[in-house]
Amino acid sequence: MDTQRTLLRLMNLPPSRFAGVMRTSDGFYIAQEQGDVGYNAFLGNPNPVHEGPGLENTLRIWAGLTEEEQAAVRTLAANPIDGAPIPLADFGIPAVAYCETCPLPSEGFMDGGEAYTADELAQIHEEHA
């Protein structure tokens, strides 16, 4: 799976047109057109998440990903090649829930490049429960 392409599709940006997207530190999105050098397409701010074909498309793509693919998307969004982290919740993708006791996600994995399997995380949380 090409995680960058998947992230674009989740953001309803066609990979046939765009090679990449980045978020600026003040929250705007700019994209790199296929064949272009640099991020020269200004996309602006995403609309607040709302019902509609865009959200349906995003959730359908998300649901079709394996757990590993979803984790790869979360990792790329949190640690993008260029620009600021992309909050997936802005596109209707549920945010990772964090443990109330330790700084790790309560399920799934990823954070700052550190990856755990679901079983390893369950073990960690069980030990401090």
Q: Interface with Zn ion by CB under 5 A: which residues?
A: 99, 101-102, 125
- The residue among 92 and 105 lying less far from Zn ion, judged by its C-beta, is 105
Closest chain position to Zn ion (CB): 99
In angstroms, give the least distance from the CB of 101 to Zn ion. Answer: 5
In angstroms, give the least distance from the CB of 96 to Zn ion. Answer: 13
Q: What DSSP line would sit under the chain, residue for residue? A: --HHHHHHHHTT--TTTEEEEEE-TTS-EEEEETT-SS--EEEEPPPPP-SSHHHHHHHHHHHTS-HHHHHHHHHHHHS-SSSB---GGGGTPPPPPBPSSSSSBSSS--STT----HHHHHHHHHHH-
- The residue among 9 and 125 lying less far from Zn ion, judged by its C-beta, is 125
- The residue among 95 and 102 lying less far from Zn ion, judged by its C-beta, is 102
